[in-house]
Amino acid sequence: MAEPRPVLQMTGVVKEFPGVRALSGVDFRLFPGEIHALIGENGAGKSTLIKVLTGVHSLDGGTITLDGESVEFTSPLQAQQAGISTVYQEVNLCPNLSVAENIFIGREPTRGGRIQWKRMRKEAAELVDRLGLDIDVAAPLSSYPLAVQQLVAIVRSVGTGDRETPGSGAGQAPGSGTATKVLVLDEPTSSLDRDEVLELFRLMRQLRDDGVAILFVSHFLDQIYEICDRMTVLRNGTLVGEHLVRDLDQVGLIELMIGKALDQLEELHEHQLHSDVGETLVKAEGLGRSGKISPFDLEIKKGEVLGLAGLLGSGRTELARLLFGADHPDTGKVTIGGKQVSMSAPNDAIGAGVAFCSENRRTEGLVPDLTVRENIILALQAARGWTRPIPASQRDELVAKYIKALDIRPANPEARVGQLSGGNQQKVLLARWLITSPQLLILDEPTRGIDIGAKTEIQRLVVSLSEDGMSVLYIAAELEEVLRLSHTIGVLRDRKLVARLANGPEITTSRILETIASGEHQ
Amino acid sequence: MTATAQKPKAAANGTASRTTRLLADPRLPVLVTAALFLAMYGGGLSRYTNYGFGEPQVFLNLFIDNGYLLVAAIGATFVILSGGIDLSVGSVIGFTTMFTAWLVERQGLPLVLVVPIALGVGAFGGFLMGYVIHNFEIQPFIVTLAGLFLFRGLCLVISKESISVSDPSVDTLAQTRVPLGLGELSIGALVALAVLAVAYYVLHHTRFGRRVYAIGGNEQSALLMGLPMGGTKIAVYTVSGFCSALAGLLFMLYIQSGDPLHAVGMELDAIAAVVIGGTLLTGGSGYVVGTLFGVLVLGLIKSLITFEGTLSSWWTKIATGVLLCAFILIQRTMTGRKKT
Amino acid sequence: MTTTSRLRALTRHHLFWPVAVLIGLLLVNVPFTPDFFSVKMTDGHLYGSLVSIVLFGSPLILVAVGMTLVIATGGIDLSVGAVVAITGALTCSYISDQADQSALSAVFLAMGIGLVAAVVCGLWNGFLVARMGIQPIIATLIIMVAGRGVAQLITDGQIITINSEPYKLIGGGYWLTLPFSIFVVAVVVAATMLLTRRTALGLLVESVGGNAEASRLVGIRSARIKIMVYVFCALCAGIAGLMISSNTSAADGNNAGLWIELDAILAVVIGGTALTGGRFSIGGTVLGALVIQTLTTTIYTIGVPTQTNLVFKAAVVIAVCLLQSPKFREKVFGRKTRRKVTVPAQPVAPVEPAPKTEVSR
């Protein structure tokens, strides 16, 4: 089968950040008139690949050709001018301006320097109409729901090239003069409901039929199977496969994404889960938050490790945040140790003995300017209040104890936390919560982006903590990891807790994969 | 629910969202301020009508007495719409009065020459501040604070004493009144109204104006949409510097002297007028017409207090503060509603 | 440790630049006034340039110390100048109403009234910022505008002069050969350091200013902390207001504390506390305030016309800000720290500039 020439070809793309190789020699091609899914877990390199493509990051190795010509962009604007438009998950438009202005800003039709409002509205209306949308272009963008704003962003990015730009000058329009060849949609569906997604898909199909090559990033597998023609799967910064969608089923895809037991954690393999699981500690009934996670019931016993399995965006973080009061639940109630807890703010949960290590260490966990010592005692100090400082001797002893126990390096309590490596930062966060002696420890992807040695140590720690009677809610992208540590595995799919599996010999990664793929508990 | 996606228009125009949409309409605060102005004016009419408050000239005097503030506030409107702030307004005004008085009186330069020089210096000062703000990513607050010190300092460098202006051409300009049927306006007031018209045109009918709104609405988006952000930001501060200098000239005409302590703190009046006029201090939403009403409300407070006779001048400040507080709280509830 | 590395450690110390600037400024005076550093004893009082720098700088130090905590939480307080005026006005007008203006009880009561008013202003600011969620710069603008009017209302637009010996002591009197205000400043600075470093307040303030979301998730009640620092800042401004009105034995609603908020913010920035919040240094702020006061004195002693004071100040503001701007340093001193343009789509952790890679792992 003779394939047409790809409109975009990336070969051997390498991107390095200090200490991390985000992309190591990735090949990627995109054909005109196709919708191509880019798939991978967190840290697989999806966003880095897109950013390299659209000129946000510079290239450290490899080549990019667009329409047969070698290109390298140094800014998003350049990429746009060459015909590569990007629509991000957060709508990058100005909500205070009208829809028509958002479509045309930077290239408004003018005569003698005066904006021709009527003409602009008319052309915007025609464009919107041609794409089969029903939007009042004179209304301010903020009067529309996010889904419509998303569509407007797409209209802007594709509607720019096919008309002559009147006048030229410094304020040159993105995409002017060149039709959009490649449209990158970076997780556009993550905050849309089903009907809104259908509308988006209709628009995507229409653009594809017009010959636009669409690169679609989504973590919803159903959507990928519904709309995409071809997919590229990344894992740990490498290409693991390019397939036609019809050639690969969901289980096969998930295996590609998560990877099979590529395992260096052999010592833990022999580990037997301790059976010393006590009474119910935490009980959630009908807990939920609309748009984040459907109401769920959950029980965590004393000394139990409950693992959450599910793909990115399946609601695993959202579930954890509700249990900690980081987000306010719409429905349901939580009882901890037999007492109902209001969960309106993290304080309530902390008071009841819950601790939460966020997956976003930098933005939601650490205070980078403060020292290791200060970051470690922060939670305990917050609980004591500002008037009762931890006595210096006791504080130093505690900090030294945990620096040693968790092997935090450098073992200098005065070091600024922002300068530590990822693994050590994670350990600082763990130490912060461990000194509060929590009853339930929630770990959201504690092993993400850290080196293999630190990974092993953290997993061993989880085991020994649970042996000592602490309950742990453990979230990880790698199924092996969840399977190895957990007594019970909660499976999530599409923001629903679809199954709870008691770990045992019959539970294997493929069994969990099937559950994730089918969304049913067999 | 299917209708939502197929016909987004239907959903957005639905009855449920009509109130929300009305509350979110950026024109609403302008109407509120206009209504407040009318109410205050009406109150003044009923209370002081025997003292000549009803004379059309009393109304026109609002423009004559506050023309300079209007011009300064228009400059501030540009800056605030773009999401920035300019603290140097009062100092630039004071400096311009001093500088022009010095050039005209001490150096004997003709006014025709002095006016463009003064305007150029003000605009250049604004340009410099914009340049530093954009290129070195220093907060506008601090940069324009330095501008405040610099221009006030330059006033004092020129002279510690006030310089009264007796140049005949200045005198003629200051005294000229243009009859308008019911009353008359000064040159200063007319210039201010002309600036208002130009500002309206620029903000609503040129690409530059729309970029100002875009940057104030969402700076990151504006950048990603490929708008030339740096140029716009610098231009906004240049406009503000120019308007402040022009306001300084009008102020000089109005009181016919240059003084190193003229217009101390006028940046606060300008910012207050802009906020009372319904412009969001976070940028991106507001109208220059609102600023006109903001200035008129502040001016009306002053004349009402004059008419009252027994009230002292500091009530102006207190009333301004109270109004400011009220409008900030109104804005807060409006934007709060929009987000949730 | 080699000499160079010791030197480097010294220049890296957070107080190095403020101290260096202060010493430099002081030394500039020596050629013009050879006995600049000498302190004389006359009538049992110490006199000298150094003493007067501290004396005249006292109100600024007080206001700047309060401002430091506000800025450390990521806020700003523009209303301190107005608070200075209100406190002075209330206190002086109460004292002036007394038959015996030197009665101790009346003076204490008057000071109490003034300080309570200051605290009320601080509560209002804190309420708007922490509970209503209004940007600090806007929230504190209200009292900045209205406060002066209130102060003039209290003094009835007059400058109230009083004649009270005990009250005079705070801002203009001497005790143990030194100006009394130096003791007041010392007590406030020491109390602030104790309050922030002996309790956990300083840590929590830095945490809230350094990462608000992380602080919420760790269970810090940041609203309370914020209200507290605004109240504290207003209280410091109130004490400064007492000092200024006591020094002149008069309350001037219009001019007392005019522009002190700007000087105070400047002192905080010179002292090395970033306007974005987080780490703060009370010592640095005190040095910053002394730098500003020394600048004024220096301009006076080296014979530059005093009216250029403000121009110099503008130059210092610009210089300090430019030196603190990473962009400026990058452009001028070359590309020591590589920085990437980040686009808001998703913050990628590894993109952070990591100049200190030797520490990691």
Express each pLDDT in A23-36 by its tens digit. 888 999 999 889 99
Q: What does the pLDDT read at residue B233? A: 94
Q: What does the pLDDT read at residue B23? A: 65
Task: Determine the residue type at A348.
Answer: D
Task: State the ipTM, two decimals.
Answer: 0.81
List the single residue in B207, B217, B220 with the smallest CB-CB distance to A96: B217
**How far, in Å, CA of B249 to CA of C304, rounded?**
30
| 3-state DSSP of chain B | CHHHHHCHHHHHCCHHHHHHHHHHCCHHHHHHHHHHHHHHHHHHHHHHHHHCCCCHHHHHHHHHHHHHHHHHHHHHHHHHHCCCCCCCHHHHHHHHHHHHHHHHHHCCCCHHHHHHHHHHHHHHHHHHHHHHHHHHCCCHHHHHHHHHHHHHHHHHHHCCCCEECCCHHHHHHHHCEEECCCCEEEHHHHHHHHHHHHHHHHHHHCHHHHHHHHHHHCHHHHHHCCCCHHHHHHHHHHHHHHHHHHHHHHHHHHHCEECCCCCCCHHHHHHHHHHHCCCCCCCCCCCHHHHHHHHHHHHHHHHHHHHHCCCCCHHHHHHHHHHHHHHHHHHHHHHHHHHC
A379 has pLDDT over 60: yes
**How far, in Å, CA of A214 to CA of A363, rounded?**
31
Judged by CB atoms closer than 8 Å, whether chains meet at B207 and A171 is answered as yes
A261 has pLDDT over 60: no
Is residue B340 domain-resident? no
β-sheet bridge partners, residue B163: B258
Give mean pLDDT, residues B122-145.
Answer: 91
Residue B183 distance to chain C (closest CA, Å): 33
C332 touches chain B (CB under 8 A): no
Angle between helices B288-308 and B314-339 (to 10 degrees): 150
C212 touches chain A (CB under 8 A): no
**How far, in Å, CA of A427 to CA of A433, rounded?**
10
List the single residue in C219, C351, C356 with the smallest CB-CB distance to A383: C219
A388 touches chain B (CB under 8 A): no
Q: Which residue ranges of chain C lie beneath pLDDT 70?
A: 1-5, 7, 11-12, 306, 324, 334-361
Cα-based angle A104, A107, A109 (whole degrees, multiple of 5): 85
Contacts of C280 in chain A (CB under 8 A): none
Q: Which CATH superfamily is domain A266-353+438-518 in?
A: P-loop containing nucleotide triphosphate hydrolases (3.40.50.300)
Judged by CB atoms closer than 8 Å, whether chains meet at C344 and B220 is answered as yes
Nearest chain A residue to B202, by CA: A114
- Of B52, B50, B165, B41, which Cα lies nearest the Cα of B103? B165
Strands A84-87 and A69-71: unpaired
Give mean pLDDT, residues B176-189.
Answer: 88
Mutation site, A56, A80, A86, A96, interface B, largest B CB count within 10 A = A96
A267 has pLDDT over 50: no
Contacts of B132 in chain C (CB under 8 A): 318, 322
Task: Name the DSSP letter for residue A371.
Answer: B
B114 has pLDDT over 90: yes
**How far, in Å, CA of C260 to CA of C270, rounded?**
15
Contacts of C307 in chain B (CB under 8 A): 153, 156-157, 160, 260
First-to-last C-alpha distance (Å) of chain C: 23
Q: What is the mean pLDDT of chain A?
A: 83
CATH of the domain spanning C32-303, picked from 1.10.3470, 1.25.40, 3.15.10, 1.10.1740: 1.10.3470
* SS3 state of residue A134: coil
List the single residue in B314, B328, B329 with the smallest CB-CB distance to C157: B314
A77 has pLDDT over 80: no
Judged by CB atoms closer than 8 Å, whether chains meet at C139 and B328 is answered as yes
* SS3 state of residue C279: coil
Which element (helix H / strand E) includes C22? helix C16-29
Is residue B202 domain-resident? yes
Domain that holds residue B99: 26-330
Give mean pLDDT, residues A253-272.
Answer: 57
| Chain C (274-303) residues lying within 8 Å, Cβ to Cβ, of chain A | 278-279
Judged by CB atoms closer than 8 Å, whether chains meet at B141 and C137 is answered as yes
Q: What does the pLDDT read at residue C338? A: 41
**How far, in Å, CA of C259 to CA of B149, rounded?**
10
A362 touches chain C (CB under 8 A): yes
* SS3 state of residue C46: strand
B224 touches chain C (CB under 8 A): yes
Mutation site, B2, B224, B281, interface A, largest A CB count within 10 A = B224
Judged by CB atoms closer than 8 Å, whether chains meet at B315 and C149 is answered as yes
All chains having 3 or more CB pairs closer than 8 angstroms to chain B:
A, C
Place of tokens 């959630």: A284
Contact (CB, 8 A) for B279 and B106: no
**How far, in Å, CA of B138 to CA of B84, rounded?**
11
B159 touches chain A (CB under 8 A): no
Judged by CB atoms closer than 8 Å, whether chains meet at A386 and C216 is answered as no
What phi and psi, each to the nearest 5 degrees, are found at residue A488?
A: -130, 145
Mutation site, C307, C322, C328, C341, interface B, largest B CB count within 10 A = C307
Nearest chain B residue to C147, by CA: B318
User: In 10 A of CB C180, how many CB atoms?
Assistant: 20
Nearest chain A residue to C351, by CA: A17
Give mean pLDDT, residues A206-223.
Answer: 86
Q: What does the pLDDT read at residue A513? A: 82
Of A177-186, B201-210, B262-271, C128-137, give the range with the top mean pLDDT.
B201-210
pLDDT tens column, A120-147: 999 999 888 888 888 899 888 888 888 8
State pTM to two decimals. 0.81
Q: What does the pLDDT read at residue A428? A: 93
Is residue A505 classed exposed, middle or buried when 0-12, 13-18 and 19+ CB atoms within 10 A define those classes? exposed
Nearest chain C residue to B260, by CA: C307
Peptide bond into A410 cis (omega under 30): yes
Give mean pLDDT, residues A217-240.
Answer: 86
- Of A113, A144, A109, A146, which Cα lies nearest the Cα of A124? A109
Residue C358 distance to chain A (closest CA, Å): 9
Task: Name the DSSP letter for residue A3.
Answer: P
**How far, in Å, CA of A42 to CA of A448, rounded?**
8
Nearest chain A residue to C276, by CA: A369
What total number of domains does chain B contain? 1
| Chain A (411-430) residues lying within 8 Å, Cβ to Cβ, of chain C | 415, 418-424
Give mean pLDDT, residues A175-195.
Answer: 73
Is residue B291 domain-resident? yes
B324 touches chain C (CB under 8 A): yes
Contacts of C232 in chain A (CB under 8 A): none
pLDDT tens column, C227-269: 999 999 999 999 999 999 999 888 888 888 888 888 898 899 8
Res. A197 pLDDT band, cuts 50 70 90? confident
Kindly report the CATH number that applies to the domain delimited by A1-83+182-192+213-259.
3.40.50.300
Which of these ranges, A354-358, B333-337, C234-238, C259-263, has the smallest mean pLDDT?
B333-337
Judged by CB atoms closer than 8 Å, whether chains meet at B7 and A134 is answered as yes
Q: Could you tell me which residue, B340 or B56, shows the higher pLDDT?
A: B56
Give mean pLDDT, residues A250-270.
Answer: 60
Q: What does the pLDDT read at residue A89? A: 73
Contacts of C331 in chain B (CB under 8 A): 135-136
pLDDT tens column, A229-241: 999 998 878 888 8
List the single residue in A92, A101, A113 with the smallest CB-CB distance to B220: A92
Judged by CB atoms closer than 8 Å, whether chains meet at B211 and A93 is answered as no
Q: How many whole angstroms from its chain centre is CA B5?
A: 43
Judged by CB atoms closer than 8 Å, whether chains meet at B24 and A135 is answered as no
Contacts of C132 in chain B (CB under 8 A): 329, 332
Judged by CB atoms closer than 8 Å, whether chains meet at C325 and B312 is answered as no
Which tokens go with C177?
Answer: 């050969």
Residue A3 distance to chain C (closest CA, Å): 34
Task: Determine the residue type at C113.
Answer: I
Contacts of C263 in chain B (CB under 8 A): none
Contacts of C217 in chain A (CB under 8 A): 324, 326, 346, 356, 358, 364-365
Judged by CB atoms closer than 8 Å, whether chains meet at A420 and C207 is answered as no
Contact (CB, 8 A) for C186 and C172: no
The percentage of chain B sitting over the pLDDT mark of 70, rounded to a whole number, equals: 91
Contacts of C156 in chain B (CB under 8 A): 312
Which of these ranges, A206-210, A313-317, C56-60, has the smallest mean pLDDT?
A313-317
| Chain C (271-290) residues lying within 8 Å, Cβ to Cβ, of chain B | 275
Contacts of B9 in chain A (CB under 8 A): 134-136
Q: Could you tell me which residue, B118 or C172, shows the higher pLDDT?
A: B118
CATH 3.40.50.300 range(s) for chain A read 1-83+182-192+213-259, 266-353+438-518
Q: What does the pLDDT read at residue A42? A: 64
Alpha-carbon torsion (C135, C137, C140, C141), positive or negative: negative
B332 touches chain C (CB under 8 A): yes
Place of tokens 């500690």: A281
Q: What does the pLDDT read at residue C243? A: 94
User: Any idea where the domains of chain C sit in the sequence?
Assistant: 32-303, 308-334
Q: What does the pLDDT read at residue B32? A: 87
Contacts of B314 in chain C (CB under 8 A): 148-150, 152-153, 157, 253
Give mean pLDDT, residues A313-331.
Answer: 89
What phi and psi, each to the nearest 5 degrees, are found at residue C159?
A: -95, 110
Q: What does the pLDDT read at residue B300? A: 92
A286 touches chain B (CB under 8 A): no
- CATH number reported for the structural domain that contains residue B131 in this entry: 1.10.3470
- Spell out where A201-301 has E strands: 213-217, 230-235, 238-244, 280-289, 293-301
Task: Determine the residue type at C284.
Answer: G
List the single residue in C214, C219, C349 with the smallest CB-CB distance to A350: C219
Judged by CB atoms closer than 8 Å, whether chains meet at C217 and A421 is answered as no
B-C interface: how many C-beta pairs under 8 angstroms? Answer: 134
Res. A520 pLDDT band, cuts 50 70 90? low
Provide CB contacts within 8 A for C277, sequence distance 6+: C71, C72, C73, C74, C75, C208, C209, C210
- Of A329, A401, A336, A326, which Cα lies nearest the Cα of A359? A326
User: In 10 A of CB B111, how many CB atoms?
Assistant: 18
Q: What does the pLDDT read at residue A90? A: 73
